[in-house]
Structure 1
Amino acid sequence: MSETTETRVLRNAVPVDGEAASYLTVEQDGPAVLLLHGTYWSRVWLPVLGRLAEAGLRPVAVDLPGLGRSGGELTLETATVPALADWVARFASALKLFEPIAVAGHDIGGAVAQHLLARDRLEVSRLALVNSVLYDSWPAPHVARFRGSGTAEDVLANRRQAVTASLAGAATEQRIADYVDPWTDARVRRSWMALAGAADNRYTLDLVPALRRSTTPKLLIWGEDDGHEKVEYAERFASEIPHTTLIRIPDADHIPTENAPGQIARALIDFFTG
Protein backbone atom coordinates (compact mmCIF):
# COMPACT_ATOMS: atom_id res chain seq x y z
CA MET A 1 0.00 0.00 0.00
CA SER A 2 1.11 3.54 -0.40
CA GLU A 3 -0.27 6.99 0.33
CA THR A 4 1.25 10.38 -0.32
CA THR A 5 1.78 12.33 2.92
CA GLU A 6 4.07 15.08 1.71
CA THR A 7 5.78 15.92 -1.57
CA ARG A 8 7.72 12.80 -2.58
CA VAL A 9 7.25 11.21 0.85
CA LEU A 10 5.24 7.97 0.81
CA ARG A 11 3.81 5.67 3.45
CA ASN A 12 4.46 2.04 2.58
CA ALA A 13 4.37 -1.26 4.46
CA VAL A 14 6.20 -4.57 4.52
CA PRO A 15 5.23 -7.74 6.43
CA VAL A 16 7.22 -8.46 9.60
CA ASP A 17 6.18 -11.33 11.87
CA GLY A 18 2.94 -11.62 9.92
CA GLU A 19 1.89 -7.99 10.54
CA ALA A 20 2.21 -4.86 8.41
CA ALA A 21 5.22 -2.75 9.39
CA SER A 22 4.39 0.77 8.23
CA TYR A 23 7.06 3.28 7.31
CA LEU A 24 7.56 6.68 5.71
CA THR A 25 10.11 6.88 2.93
CA VAL A 26 11.21 8.46 -0.30
CA GLU A 27 11.62 5.69 -2.85
CA GLN A 28 14.90 6.37 -4.60
CA ASP A 29 18.37 4.95 -4.93
CA GLY A 30 20.87 6.06 -2.34
CA PRO A 31 22.26 5.06 1.05
CA ALA A 32 19.46 4.12 3.44
CA VAL A 33 19.03 5.91 6.76
CA LEU A 34 16.89 4.03 9.29
CA LEU A 35 14.92 6.43 11.53
CA LEU A 36 13.42 5.18 14.80
CA HIS A 37 10.78 6.86 16.96
CA GLY A 38 10.09 6.39 20.66
CA THR A 39 6.93 7.22 22.60
CA TYR A 40 5.53 9.06 19.56
CA TRP A 41 5.60 7.60 16.03
CA SER A 42 7.21 8.11 12.61
CA ARG A 43 5.52 11.53 12.36
CA VAL A 44 8.46 13.00 14.33
CA TRP A 45 10.74 12.46 11.30
CA LEU A 46 8.38 13.80 8.61
CA PRO A 47 9.74 17.39 8.66
CA VAL A 48 13.23 16.23 7.62
CA LEU A 49 12.52 13.33 5.25
CA GLY A 50 12.26 15.38 2.06
CA ARG A 51 15.46 17.23 2.84
CA LEU A 52 17.36 14.02 3.50
CA ALA A 53 16.13 12.65 0.16
CA GLU A 54 17.17 15.78 -1.69
CA ALA A 55 20.69 15.15 -0.40
CA GLY A 56 20.70 11.72 -2.05
CA LEU A 57 19.81 9.65 1.01
CA ARG A 58 16.97 7.13 1.24
CA PRO A 59 15.20 7.83 4.56
CA VAL A 60 13.11 5.06 6.13
CA ALA A 61 11.10 6.10 9.21
CA VAL A 62 9.40 2.99 10.56
CA ASP A 63 6.52 2.70 13.01
CA LEU A 64 7.32 0.17 15.73
CA PRO A 65 4.83 -2.71 16.03
CA GLY A 66 1.46 -1.74 17.43
CA LEU A 67 2.32 1.96 17.20
CA GLY A 68 1.70 4.66 14.62
CA ARG A 69 0.29 2.97 11.51
CA SER A 70 1.93 -0.44 12.03
CA GLY A 71 -0.10 -3.55 12.73
CA GLY A 72 0.25 -5.88 15.67
CA GLU A 73 0.12 -5.10 19.36
CA LEU A 74 2.96 -4.80 21.86
CA THR A 75 3.08 -6.67 25.15
CA LEU A 76 5.35 -6.09 28.14
CA GLU A 77 7.68 -8.76 26.70
CA THR A 78 7.78 -7.48 23.12
CA ALA A 79 8.02 -3.79 24.12
CA THR A 80 11.42 -4.04 25.82
CA VAL A 81 14.37 -2.32 24.15
CA PRO A 82 16.13 -5.62 23.27
CA ALA A 83 12.92 -7.08 21.79
CA LEU A 84 12.28 -3.92 19.76
CA ALA A 85 15.87 -3.93 18.51
CA ASP A 86 15.43 -7.51 17.32
CA TRP A 87 12.19 -6.49 15.57
CA VAL A 88 13.93 -3.56 13.85
CA ALA A 89 16.64 -5.94 12.60
CA ARG A 90 13.90 -8.17 11.14
CA PHE A 91 12.27 -5.11 9.56
CA ALA A 92 15.58 -4.08 7.97
CA SER A 93 15.98 -7.60 6.60
CA ALA A 94 12.41 -7.65 5.24
CA LEU A 95 13.00 -4.34 3.48
CA LYS A 96 16.41 -5.54 2.22
CA LEU A 97 18.25 -2.63 3.80
CA PHE A 98 21.86 -3.49 3.23
CA GLU A 99 24.39 -3.27 6.03
CA PRO A 100 26.29 -1.35 7.23
CA ILE A 101 23.44 1.10 7.70
CA ALA A 102 23.11 4.57 9.21
CA VAL A 103 20.63 4.75 12.10
CA ALA A 104 18.98 7.66 13.93
CA GLY A 105 16.81 7.39 17.02
CA HIS A 106 14.52 9.78 18.90
CA ASP A 107 13.35 9.31 22.50
CA ILE A 108 13.15 5.56 23.35
CA GLY A 109 13.95 4.91 19.70
CA GLY A 110 17.39 6.20 20.64
CA ALA A 111 17.72 3.39 23.18
CA VAL A 112 16.80 0.90 20.45
CA ALA A 113 19.38 2.50 18.15
CA GLN A 114 22.06 2.29 20.84
CA HIS A 115 21.16 -1.36 21.38
CA LEU A 116 21.44 -2.12 17.65
CA LEU A 117 24.99 -0.75 17.70
CA ALA A 118 26.25 -1.94 21.07
CA ARG A 119 24.78 -5.45 20.83
CA ASP A 120 25.56 -5.93 17.11
CA ARG A 121 21.93 -6.45 16.12
CA LEU A 122 22.79 -4.55 12.92
CA GLU A 123 26.07 -3.37 11.47
CA VAL A 124 25.61 0.36 12.14
CA SER A 125 27.85 2.68 10.12
CA ARG A 126 26.85 5.90 11.90
CA LEU A 127 24.58 6.59 14.87
CA ALA A 128 22.59 9.80 15.40
CA LEU A 129 20.51 10.44 18.52
CA VAL A 130 17.93 13.24 18.68
CA ASN A 131 16.69 14.10 22.21
CA SER A 132 17.16 10.44 23.00
CA VAL A 133 16.98 8.62 26.29
CA LEU A 134 20.50 8.24 27.73
CA TYR A 135 21.90 6.63 30.87
CA ASP A 136 19.20 6.85 33.58
CA SER A 137 17.34 9.82 32.06
CA TRP A 138 14.18 7.77 31.56
CA PRO A 139 11.35 6.90 31.82
CA ALA A 140 9.94 10.41 32.12
CA PRO A 141 7.34 10.84 34.92
CA HIS A 142 4.43 11.25 32.51
CA VAL A 143 5.38 7.90 30.94
CA ALA A 144 6.41 6.10 34.13
CA ARG A 145 3.03 6.71 35.74
CA PHE A 146 1.56 4.14 33.32
CA ARG A 147 3.82 1.39 34.65
CA GLY A 148 1.31 -0.87 36.36
CA SER A 149 -1.46 1.73 36.54
CA GLY A 150 -3.60 3.97 34.37
CA THR A 151 -6.13 3.00 31.71
CA ALA A 152 -6.17 3.01 27.94
CA GLU A 153 -8.60 5.92 28.13
CA ASP A 154 -6.02 7.95 30.05
CA VAL A 155 -3.46 7.53 27.27
CA LEU A 156 -5.15 9.83 24.76
CA ALA A 157 -5.25 12.77 27.19
CA ASN A 158 -1.68 12.03 28.30
CA ARG A 159 -0.38 11.97 24.73
CA ARG A 160 -2.16 15.18 23.79
CA GLN A 161 -0.66 16.97 26.77
CA ALA A 162 2.81 15.55 26.10
CA VAL A 163 2.70 16.38 22.39
CA THR A 164 1.61 19.94 23.06
CA ALA A 165 4.49 20.49 25.48
CA SER A 166 7.06 18.72 23.31
CA LEU A 167 6.18 20.71 20.18
CA ALA A 168 6.58 23.96 22.14
CA GLY A 169 6.51 26.91 19.72
CA ALA A 170 5.70 24.61 16.80
CA ALA A 171 2.41 23.49 18.38
CA THR A 172 -0.73 24.17 16.36
CA GLU A 173 -4.13 22.50 16.72
CA GLN A 174 -3.68 20.72 13.38
CA ARG A 175 -0.19 19.49 14.21
CA ILE A 176 -1.28 18.29 17.66
CA ALA A 177 -4.20 16.45 16.07
CA ASP A 178 -1.86 14.83 13.52
CA TYR A 179 0.43 13.57 16.26
CA VAL A 180 -2.34 12.30 18.51
CA ASP A 181 -4.39 10.58 15.80
CA PRO A 182 -2.95 7.01 16.16
CA TRP A 183 -3.94 6.91 19.83
CA THR A 184 -7.60 7.15 18.92
CA ASP A 185 -7.20 3.39 18.22
CA ALA A 186 -7.56 1.33 21.42
CA ARG A 187 -5.03 -1.23 20.11
CA VAL A 188 -2.40 1.50 19.76
CA ARG A 189 -3.21 2.82 23.23
CA ARG A 190 -2.67 -0.66 24.67
CA SER A 191 0.62 -0.99 22.80
CA TRP A 192 1.75 2.38 24.12
CA MET A 193 0.93 1.28 27.67
CA ALA A 194 3.06 -1.81 27.12
CA LEU A 195 5.91 0.41 25.89
CA ALA A 196 5.56 2.56 29.01
CA GLY A 197 5.39 -0.49 31.23
CA ALA A 198 8.54 -1.99 29.71
CA ALA A 199 10.55 1.25 29.93
CA ASP A 200 13.64 0.53 32.02
CA ASN A 201 16.83 2.58 32.10
CA ARG A 202 18.99 -0.48 32.70
CA TYR A 203 18.69 -1.05 28.96
CA THR A 204 20.78 2.07 28.32
CA LEU A 205 22.97 1.91 31.42
CA ASP A 206 24.07 -1.62 30.49
CA LEU A 207 25.21 -0.41 27.04
CA VAL A 208 27.67 2.21 28.29
CA PRO A 209 30.79 -0.02 28.39
CA ALA A 210 30.21 -1.23 24.82
CA LEU A 211 29.49 2.31 23.60
CA ARG A 212 32.74 3.50 25.17
CA ARG A 213 34.62 0.85 23.16
CA SER A 214 32.79 1.64 19.93
CA THR A 215 34.64 3.48 17.16
CA THR A 216 31.42 4.16 15.22
CA PRO A 217 30.85 7.91 14.64
CA LYS A 218 28.03 9.27 16.79
CA LEU A 219 26.06 12.52 16.60
CA LEU A 220 23.80 14.00 19.26
CA ILE A 221 21.25 16.63 18.20
CA TRP A 222 19.48 18.21 21.15
CA GLY A 223 16.61 20.63 21.64
CA GLU A 224 17.97 22.59 24.59
CA ASP A 225 14.58 23.24 26.22
CA ASP A 226 13.71 19.55 26.73
CA GLY A 227 12.60 19.23 30.36
CA HIS A 228 12.89 15.43 30.48
CA GLU A 229 15.74 14.37 28.19
CA LYS A 230 17.87 17.24 29.43
CA VAL A 231 20.82 18.53 27.46
CA GLU A 232 23.06 17.80 30.45
CA TYR A 233 22.70 14.09 29.65
CA ALA A 234 23.83 14.76 26.09
CA GLU A 235 26.80 16.75 27.35
CA ARG A 236 27.79 13.87 29.61
CA PHE A 237 27.45 11.35 26.78
CA ALA A 238 29.54 13.50 24.44
CA SER A 239 32.28 13.81 27.06
CA GLU A 240 32.34 10.10 28.00
CA ILE A 241 31.63 8.25 24.74
CA PRO A 242 34.39 8.51 22.11
CA HIS A 243 33.73 9.67 18.55
CA THR A 244 30.68 11.70 19.63
CA THR A 245 29.70 15.22 18.53
CA LEU A 246 26.92 17.27 20.13
CA ILE A 247 24.85 19.87 18.28
CA ARG A 248 22.56 21.96 20.46
CA ILE A 249 19.31 23.40 19.06
CA PRO A 250 18.22 26.54 20.94
CA ASP A 251 14.52 27.33 21.45
CA ALA A 252 13.55 23.70 20.75
CA ASP A 253 11.95 21.11 23.02
CA HIS A 254 11.63 17.33 22.86
CA ILE A 255 10.61 17.17 19.16
CA PRO A 256 13.16 19.59 17.66
CA THR A 257 12.53 18.31 14.13
CA GLU A 258 9.39 20.46 14.22
CA ASN A 259 11.12 23.53 15.69
CA ALA A 260 14.20 23.58 13.44
CA PRO A 261 13.75 21.08 10.58
CA GLY A 262 16.21 22.78 8.26
CA GLN A 263 18.97 22.94 10.85
CA ILE A 264 18.46 19.34 11.95
CA ALA A 265 18.24 18.01 8.40
CA ARG A 266 21.50 19.76 7.51
CA ALA A 267 23.22 18.29 10.58
CA LEU A 268 22.00 14.80 9.70
CA ILE A 269 22.97 15.17 6.04
CA ASP A 270 26.46 16.39 6.88
CA PHE A 271 26.89 13.53 9.33
CA PHE A 272 25.48 10.72 7.19
CA THR A 273 27.24 11.81 4.00
CA GLY A 274 30.51 12.79 5.68
Structure 2
Amino acid sequence: MSTPRFLDLPPGVAPQKIETSQGTFAALEALPVSGVVERWPALLVPGLTGSKEDFIAVLMTLAQSGRRVVAIDLRGQYETPGPETPDAYTCAALGADVDLLAQVVGGGDPVHLVGHSFGGLVAREAVVDGRTKFASFTLMGSGPGAIEGRRARNGKKIMEEIPVLGLEHVWQHRLEPEALAADVSDEILAFLRKRLLTNSPTGLSRMAEEVLTMRDRTDELRQVEIPTLVLYGEHDDGWPPDAQSEMAARLGADCVVVPGAVHSPAVEAPETTAAALVRFWNAAEKHYLDTRSSAM
Protein backbone atom coordinates (compact mmCIF):
# COMPACT_ATOMS: atom_id res chain seq x y z
CA MET A 1 0.00 0.00 0.00
CA SER A 2 1.23 3.48 -0.83
CA THR A 3 0.56 6.33 1.56
CA PRO A 4 0.59 10.09 1.13
CA ARG A 5 3.52 11.89 2.70
CA PHE A 6 2.06 14.76 4.68
CA LEU A 7 1.89 16.50 8.01
CA ASP A 8 0.71 19.92 6.91
CA LEU A 9 -0.41 21.06 3.49
CA PRO A 10 2.42 22.60 1.44
CA PRO A 11 2.45 26.35 0.71
CA GLY A 12 -0.13 27.29 -1.87
CA VAL A 13 -2.29 24.18 -1.23
CA ALA A 14 -5.67 24.53 0.48
CA PRO A 15 -8.86 22.46 0.92
CA GLN A 16 -11.78 23.57 -1.22
CA LYS A 17 -15.37 22.63 -2.01
CA ILE A 18 -16.31 22.60 -5.68
CA GLU A 19 -19.98 23.14 -6.45
CA THR A 20 -21.54 21.42 -9.47
CA SER A 21 -25.07 20.70 -10.63
CA GLN A 22 -24.58 17.15 -9.30
CA GLY A 23 -23.42 18.17 -5.84
CA THR A 24 -20.43 19.40 -3.89
CA PHE A 25 -17.01 17.76 -4.25
CA ALA A 26 -14.17 17.94 -1.72
CA ALA A 27 -10.88 19.02 -3.26
CA LEU A 28 -7.36 20.20 -2.63
CA GLU A 29 -6.45 23.23 -4.73
CA ALA A 30 -2.86 24.26 -5.44
CA LEU A 31 -1.90 27.65 -6.86
CA PRO A 32 1.50 29.10 -7.73
CA VAL A 33 3.04 30.72 -4.66
CA SER A 34 3.41 33.89 -6.73
CA GLY A 35 -0.34 33.89 -7.28
CA VAL A 36 0.16 34.22 -11.04
CA VAL A 37 -1.65 31.59 -13.13
CA GLU A 38 -0.29 31.56 -16.68
CA ARG A 39 -1.14 28.10 -18.00
CA TRP A 40 -4.14 25.82 -18.32
CA PRO A 41 -5.38 24.11 -15.13
CA ALA A 42 -5.22 20.44 -14.20
CA LEU A 43 -7.71 18.07 -12.57
CA LEU A 44 -6.44 14.98 -10.72
CA VAL A 45 -8.69 11.95 -10.10
CA PRO A 46 -7.71 9.36 -7.43
CA GLY A 47 -8.00 5.58 -7.35
CA LEU A 48 -10.42 3.14 -5.74
CA THR A 49 -9.41 3.27 -2.07
CA GLY A 50 -7.61 6.59 -2.45
CA SER A 51 -8.49 10.26 -2.20
CA LYS A 52 -7.26 13.71 -3.12
CA GLU A 53 -4.55 13.38 -0.46
CA ASP A 54 -2.71 10.85 -2.63
CA PHE A 55 -1.55 13.79 -4.77
CA ILE A 56 -0.27 16.02 -1.94
CA ALA A 57 3.39 15.30 -2.69
CA VAL A 58 3.12 16.61 -6.27
CA LEU A 59 0.59 19.45 -5.95
CA MET A 60 2.97 22.27 -5.12
CA THR A 61 5.47 21.33 -7.84
CA LEU A 62 2.71 21.07 -10.43
CA ALA A 63 1.24 24.42 -9.44
CA GLN A 64 4.64 26.11 -9.59
CA SER A 65 4.59 25.46 -13.34
CA GLY A 66 2.06 28.29 -13.49
CA ARG A 67 -1.17 26.36 -13.08
CA ARG A 68 -4.16 25.92 -10.87
CA VAL A 69 -4.14 22.22 -9.92
CA VAL A 70 -7.15 20.55 -8.32
CA ALA A 71 -7.26 17.06 -6.80
CA ILE A 72 -10.68 15.69 -5.88
CA ASP A 73 -12.46 13.02 -3.92
CA LEU A 74 -14.85 11.13 -6.17
CA ARG A 75 -18.53 10.90 -5.30
CA GLY A 76 -18.94 8.78 -2.15
CA GLN A 77 -15.19 8.86 -1.50
CA TYR A 78 -13.74 10.21 1.78
CA GLU A 79 -14.97 13.83 2.12
CA THR A 80 -17.33 13.92 -0.87
CA PRO A 81 -20.80 12.63 0.02
CA GLY A 82 -22.65 10.23 -2.22
CA PRO A 83 -25.95 8.33 -2.37
CA GLU A 84 -26.47 4.70 -1.42
CA THR A 85 -27.45 3.90 -5.00
CA PRO A 86 -25.10 1.47 -6.79
CA ASP A 87 -25.67 2.96 -10.24
CA ALA A 88 -24.27 6.28 -9.01
CA TYR A 89 -20.81 4.66 -8.87
CA THR A 90 -20.35 3.22 -12.33
CA CYS A 91 -17.40 4.53 -14.31
CA ALA A 92 -19.85 6.25 -16.66
CA ALA A 93 -21.66 8.04 -13.81
CA LEU A 94 -18.41 9.08 -12.13
CA GLY A 95 -17.03 10.15 -15.50
CA ALA A 96 -20.01 12.47 -15.91
CA ASP A 97 -19.02 14.04 -12.57
CA VAL A 98 -15.51 14.58 -13.93
CA ASP A 99 -17.01 16.37 -16.94
CA LEU A 100 -18.82 18.80 -14.65
CA LEU A 101 -15.80 19.31 -12.43
CA ALA A 102 -13.57 20.01 -15.43
CA GLN A 103 -15.98 22.63 -16.69
CA VAL A 104 -15.96 24.37 -13.30
CA VAL A 105 -12.20 24.10 -12.82
CA GLY A 106 -11.47 25.19 -16.38
CA GLY A 107 -13.75 28.21 -16.36
CA GLY A 108 -13.72 28.17 -20.14
CA ASP A 109 -10.13 26.93 -20.59
CA PRO A 110 -9.21 23.36 -21.54
CA VAL A 111 -8.16 21.21 -18.57
CA HIS A 112 -5.33 18.69 -18.25
CA LEU A 113 -6.93 15.52 -16.88
CA VAL A 114 -5.04 12.91 -14.82
CA GLY A 115 -6.57 9.65 -13.60
CA HIS A 116 -4.75 7.32 -11.20
CA SER A 117 -5.57 3.59 -11.25
CA PHE A 118 -9.40 3.24 -11.06
CA GLY A 119 -9.48 7.01 -11.48
CA GLY A 120 -7.93 6.48 -14.91
CA LEU A 121 -10.87 4.33 -15.97
CA VAL A 122 -13.27 6.99 -14.66
CA ALA A 123 -11.41 9.85 -16.34
CA ARG A 124 -11.28 7.89 -19.60
CA GLU A 125 -15.08 7.82 -19.62
CA ALA A 126 -15.10 11.62 -19.46
CA VAL A 127 -12.66 11.86 -22.37
CA VAL A 128 -14.47 9.31 -24.55
CA ASP A 129 -17.98 10.68 -23.95
CA GLY A 130 -16.94 13.88 -25.73
CA ARG A 131 -18.91 16.31 -23.57
CA THR A 132 -15.77 18.17 -22.48
CA LYS A 133 -12.75 19.18 -24.56
CA PHE A 134 -9.67 18.35 -22.50
CA ALA A 135 -6.19 19.79 -23.04
CA SER A 136 -4.57 16.41 -22.41
CA PHE A 137 -5.15 13.09 -20.67
CA THR A 138 -2.79 11.11 -18.43
CA LEU A 139 -3.37 7.50 -17.39
CA MET A 140 -1.28 7.03 -14.25
CA GLY A 141 -0.86 3.42 -13.16
CA SER A 142 -4.03 2.56 -15.06
CA GLY A 143 -4.67 0.00 -17.76
CA PRO A 144 -6.82 -0.73 -20.78
CA GLY A 145 -9.45 -2.82 -19.02
CA ALA A 146 -10.03 -4.73 -15.78
CA ILE A 147 -7.29 -4.67 -13.15
CA GLU A 148 -5.17 -7.79 -12.79
CA GLY A 149 -3.07 -9.82 -10.34
CA ARG A 150 -2.93 -9.25 -6.59
CA ARG A 151 -4.92 -6.05 -6.72
CA ALA A 152 -7.68 -7.82 -8.64
CA ARG A 153 -7.87 -10.46 -5.91
CA ASN A 154 -8.04 -7.77 -3.23
CA GLY A 155 -10.70 -5.89 -5.21
CA LYS A 156 -12.83 -9.03 -5.44
CA LYS A 157 -12.64 -9.55 -1.69
CA ILE A 158 -13.53 -5.90 -1.04
CA MET A 159 -16.55 -6.19 -3.34
CA GLU A 160 -17.73 -9.39 -1.63
CA GLU A 161 -16.98 -8.48 1.99
CA ILE A 162 -18.29 -4.93 2.30
CA PRO A 163 -22.02 -5.74 1.90
CA VAL A 164 -21.77 -8.61 4.40
CA LEU A 165 -19.03 -7.67 6.86
CA GLY A 166 -18.68 -3.91 6.49
CA LEU A 167 -15.85 -1.42 6.05
CA GLU A 168 -14.32 -2.03 9.49
CA HIS A 169 -13.74 -5.67 8.58
CA VAL A 170 -12.11 -4.66 5.29
CA TRP A 171 -9.85 -2.26 7.17
CA GLN A 172 -8.80 -4.79 9.80
CA HIS A 173 -8.29 -7.72 7.45
CA ARG A 174 -7.21 -6.09 4.16
CA LEU A 175 -5.82 -2.58 4.36
CA GLU A 176 -4.47 -2.30 7.91
CA PRO A 177 -2.11 -5.29 7.52
CA GLU A 178 -0.71 -3.73 4.33
CA ALA A 179 -0.19 -0.41 6.06
CA LEU A 180 1.54 -2.02 9.03
CA ALA A 181 3.77 -4.03 6.69
CA ALA A 182 4.75 -0.75 5.01
CA ASP A 183 5.73 0.61 8.45
CA VAL A 184 3.67 3.79 8.13
CA SER A 185 3.50 6.26 11.00
CA ASP A 186 0.70 6.20 13.55
CA GLU A 187 -0.59 9.48 12.13
CA ILE A 188 -0.89 8.14 8.60
CA LEU A 189 -2.34 4.86 9.87
CA ALA A 190 -5.09 6.82 11.63
CA PHE A 191 -5.72 8.83 8.46
CA LEU A 192 -5.97 5.71 6.29
CA ARG A 193 -8.48 4.14 8.68
CA LYS A 194 -10.57 7.30 8.85
CA ARG A 195 -10.49 7.64 5.07
CA LEU A 196 -11.68 4.10 4.42
CA LEU A 197 -14.45 4.19 7.03
CA THR A 198 -15.75 7.50 5.65
CA ASN A 199 -16.32 6.02 2.20
CA SER A 200 -19.79 5.05 1.05
CA PRO A 201 -19.93 1.24 1.49
CA THR A 202 -22.24 0.97 -1.52
CA GLY A 203 -19.96 3.18 -3.56
CA LEU A 204 -16.75 1.35 -2.70
CA SER A 205 -18.29 -2.04 -3.39
CA ARG A 206 -19.66 -0.95 -6.76
CA MET A 207 -16.42 0.77 -7.75
CA ALA A 208 -14.54 -2.44 -6.92
CA GLU A 209 -16.93 -4.29 -9.23
CA GLU A 210 -16.28 -1.73 -11.96
CA VAL A 211 -12.50 -2.02 -11.77
CA LEU A 212 -12.80 -5.81 -11.96
CA THR A 213 -15.07 -5.84 -15.02
CA MET A 214 -14.15 -2.78 -17.09
CA ARG A 215 -13.85 -3.49 -20.80
CA ASP A 216 -10.99 -2.31 -22.96
CA ARG A 217 -11.82 1.10 -24.48
CA THR A 218 -8.38 1.87 -25.88
CA ASP A 219 -9.54 2.00 -29.49
CA GLU A 220 -12.34 4.42 -28.58
CA LEU A 221 -9.90 6.63 -26.66
CA ARG A 222 -7.53 6.72 -29.62
CA GLN A 223 -10.32 8.07 -31.83
CA VAL A 224 -10.63 11.14 -29.59
CA GLU A 225 -7.20 12.34 -30.75
CA ILE A 226 -6.23 13.97 -27.48
CA PRO A 227 -2.58 14.29 -26.35
CA THR A 228 -2.18 11.29 -24.06
CA LEU A 229 0.46 10.17 -21.58
CA VAL A 230 0.74 6.70 -20.07
CA LEU A 231 2.78 6.92 -16.86
CA TYR A 232 3.42 4.01 -14.51
CA GLY A 233 5.88 2.58 -12.00
CA GLU A 234 8.38 0.04 -13.26
CA HIS A 235 7.13 -2.44 -10.64
CA ASP A 236 3.38 -1.77 -10.98
CA ASP A 237 1.38 -4.58 -9.39
CA GLY A 238 -2.02 -3.45 -10.67
CA TRP A 239 -1.93 -3.53 -14.44
CA PRO A 240 1.32 -5.20 -15.62
CA PRO A 241 3.88 -2.74 -17.02
CA ASP A 242 3.87 -4.64 -20.33
CA ALA A 243 0.10 -4.16 -20.64
CA GLN A 244 0.43 -0.41 -20.00
CA SER A 245 3.29 -0.13 -22.49
CA GLU A 246 1.22 -1.94 -25.11
CA MET A 247 -1.73 0.36 -24.39
CA ALA A 248 0.50 3.39 -24.91
CA ALA A 249 1.62 1.99 -28.28
CA ARG A 250 -1.99 1.39 -29.34
CA LEU A 251 -2.84 4.96 -28.40
CA GLY A 252 0.21 6.47 -30.02
CA ALA A 253 0.75 8.03 -26.60
CA ASP A 254 3.81 9.28 -24.77
CA CYS A 255 5.01 6.71 -22.24
CA VAL A 256 6.97 7.32 -19.03
CA VAL A 257 8.16 4.53 -16.76
CA VAL A 258 8.98 5.78 -13.27
CA PRO A 259 12.04 4.01 -11.84
CA GLY A 260 11.54 2.36 -8.47
CA ALA A 261 7.83 3.14 -8.28
CA VAL A 262 5.09 0.55 -7.88
CA HIS A 263 1.41 1.49 -8.24
CA SER A 264 1.39 5.08 -6.95
CA PRO A 265 4.11 7.14 -8.67
CA ALA A 266 2.80 10.43 -7.25
CA VAL A 267 3.50 9.08 -3.76
CA GLU A 268 6.51 6.87 -4.38
CA ALA A 269 8.43 9.14 -6.77
CA PRO A 270 6.80 12.59 -6.62
CA GLU A 271 9.66 14.61 -8.15
CA THR A 272 9.98 12.35 -11.20
CA THR A 273 6.22 12.15 -11.61
CA ALA A 274 5.65 15.90 -11.33
CA ALA A 275 8.46 16.67 -13.76
CA ALA A 276 7.02 14.23 -16.32
CA LEU A 277 3.55 15.74 -16.02
CA VAL A 278 4.79 19.32 -16.39
CA ARG A 279 6.85 18.42 -19.49
CA PHE A 280 3.86 16.68 -21.04
CA TRP A 281 1.42 19.48 -20.24
CA ASN A 282 3.76 22.14 -21.62
CA ALA A 283 4.23 20.16 -24.82
CA ALA A 284 0.47 19.65 -25.20
CA GLU A 285 -0.17 23.38 -24.85
CA LYS A 286 2.59 24.24 -27.32
CA HIS A 287 1.18 21.74 -29.82
CA TYR A 288 -2.27 23.28 -29.45
CA LEU A 289 -0.98 26.80 -29.99
CA ASP A 290 1.22 25.77 -32.95
CA THR A 291 -1.71 23.95 -34.57
CA ARG A 292 -4.01 26.90 -34.01
CA SER A 293 -1.44 29.32 -35.44
CA SER A 294 -0.88 27.23 -38.57
CA ALA A 295 -4.62 27.01 -39.17
CA MET A 296 -4.99 30.80 -39.26
TM-score range, shorter chain: 0.7 to 0.9
Q: Does residue 147 of structure 1 match 2:163?
A: no
Q: Which residue does 2:287 correspond to in 1?
A: none
278, 282, 287: which is aligned to 1:269? 278
User: Unpaired segments of 5 or more residues in structure 1?
Assistant: none
Q: Does residue 77 of structure 1 match 2:87?
A: yes
Q: Does residue 7 of structure 1 match 2:11?
A: yes
1: distance between equivalents of 2:176 and 2:21? 30
Q: Which residue does 2:209 correspond to in 1?
A: 197
Gap change, CA 1:225 and 1:175, over 3 Å in 2:
farther
Q: Does residue 183 of structure 1 match 2:192?
A: no
Q: Secondary structure at the match of 1:69?
A: coil
Same amino acid, percent of matched pairs? 22
Q: Which residue does 1:156 correspond to in 2?
A: 171
Pick which of 147-156 and 264-273 moved more: 147-156
Greater share of helix residues, 1 or 2? Answer: 2
90, 98, 102: which is aligned to 2:100? 90
1:151-194 C-alpha deviation (Å, 9 max, x unpaired):
222232323345667xx6x9544444434431233x53443223
Q: Does residue 249 of structure 1 match 2:296?
A: no
- Which has more radius of gyration? 2
Judge conservation of contact 1:21–1:70 (CA < 8 Å) in 2.
yes
2: distance between equivalents of 1:235 and 1:171? 31
1:96-149 C-alpha deviation (Å, 9 max, x unpaired):
543422100101110112111122132122111110132233572101223344
TM-score scaled to structure 1, two decimals? 0.86
Instruction: Report the count of equivalent residues.
Output: 264
Q: Secondary structure at the match of 2:239?
A: coil
TM-score scaled to structure 2, two decimals? 0.80
Structure 1 segment 18-167 matched on structure 2, within 5 A: 19-27=23-31, 28=35, 29=37, 30-39=39-48, 40-73=50-83, 75-95=85-105, 97-138=107-148, 140-150=152-162, 151-152=165-166, 153-157=168-172, 158-161=174-177
218, 237, 240: which is aligned to 2:228? 218
2: distance between equivalents of 1:213 and 1:79? 25
The structural deviation recorded for 1:248 is 0.9
Gap change, CA 1:112 and 1:73, over 3 Å in 2:
same
Q: Which amino acid aligns with 1:194?
A: R
The structural deviation recorded for 1:13 is 0.3
User: Unpaired segments of 5 or more residues in structure 2?
Assistant: 1-7, 284-296
Cα RMSD (Å) of the superposition? 2.4
2: distance between equivalents of 1:164 and 1:35? 27
The structural deviation recorded for 1:74 is 5.3
Q: Secondary structure at the match of 1:124?
A: coil
1: distance between equivalents of 2:221 and 2:111? 17
Pick which of 48-57 and 128-137 moved more: 128-137
2: distance between equivalents of 1:164 and 1:75? 33
Q: Secondary structure at the match of 2:144?
A: coil
